[in-house]
Copies of this chain bind each other. A is one copy, B any other.
């Protein structure tokens, strides 16, 4: 069992893996292209993994470090009958903290441009009118899985009422209410914050378009910590310019890296971060908790134990 390790593991994790029968670890720094056809398992996707999968190979299992797997050649992997597991569940708290930070920047005016302007700093009386408190605010959390539920929990603790959105509107614990995607698109309830965490699929591409933004009954802040192409960026900028959307916090973009020429740099009241909202200090510990039982299950039963991706569905 040759495992290509494309991420940093802790020494005790390496020891634990090497204690398994017939396991051989190949660190990304030791890998040479000639080894490609000998790899059975890939831990973390990268260009080397892509090269291996695009040539004849006998890879049986790929473990990702991310929750979303839209960047994988899903159809191609399905044809090759490879098992794929994502890292869903390890980024929830981190993303929830980032989302809360974006929200507080808006509601407490912490990132007002005057706060960085020595000559217009003491515009306090103007800022005061923008500042609100969280109790009673309403959040629409589009995506009611692990990450969405964690965001809901954190916001509810601070008095925010949460509406989760899932495919068919089935009940999920941890939200004040749940609506279906169809209801979201037809008649969304008024919200102060709309938070996207949907995976990217054909169905979610440009879900947030002119129609969506114009249909909002409130004056929401829009936050995207899901995937960039779920948003029609030009439509969002139009909505920001006419004040239909109060502000936007974007961690993901239609084009990444975000080009310096993007009109987002000139859009009003926008917070930008470079696809880091899900960052966790100790990613190795998080991923290993999923990878290790999957590897053992693969060796024992030929199947995955947790976090298996449906390659046809895309998540």
Contacts and interface: CB of A to CB of B under 8 A. Distances in A.
A157 to B, nearest CB: 5
A260 B119 contact: yes
Interface string A127-139: 1100111110000
Nearest to A95: B108
B134 A97 contact: yes
Contacts of A134: 97
A96 to B, nearest CB: 9
Contact of A131 (B93, B259, B279): B279
Contact of A122 (B119, B128, B258, B277): B258
Interface in A182-229: none
Given A104-B101, A110-B98, A110-B271, A128 B260 contact: no
A103 to B, nearest CB: 8
Given A119-B260, A131-B281, A275 B101 contact: no
A262 B157 CA distance: 38
Contacts of A122: 256-258, 274
Contacts of A303: none
* Interface size, A (range): 35 or more
A109 B276 contact: yes
B114 A107 contact: no
A145 to B, nearest CB: 19
A280 interface: yes
B97 A158 contact: yes
A98 B108 contact: yes
Contact of A276 (B93, B97, B128, B157): B128
A31 interface: no
Contacts of A102: 110
B94 A124 contact: no
B104 A108 contact: no
B275 A94 contact: no
A135 to B, nearest CB: 7
A115 B272 contact: yes
B258 A131 contact: no
Given A101-B105, A122-B274, 7 more contacts: A97-B108, A97-B134, A97-B158, A109-B273, A115-B273, A118-B265, A131-B281
Interface of A: 93-94, 97-98, 100-102, 104-105, 107-112, 114-116, 118-119, 121-124, 127-128, 131-135, 154, 157-158, 256-262, 265, 271-277, 279-281
16 contacts: A93-B135, A94-B108, A94-B131, A97-B134, A101-B110, A102-B110, A108-B276, A111-B111, A115-B274, A118-B259, A121-B258, A121-B274, A131-B276, A131-B280, A132-B281, A157-B158
The 9 A-B residue pairs with the shortest CB-CB distance, nearest first, are A101-B104, A122-B257, A118-B260, A124-B274, A131-B279, A98-B108, A157-B157, A101-B110, A118-B265
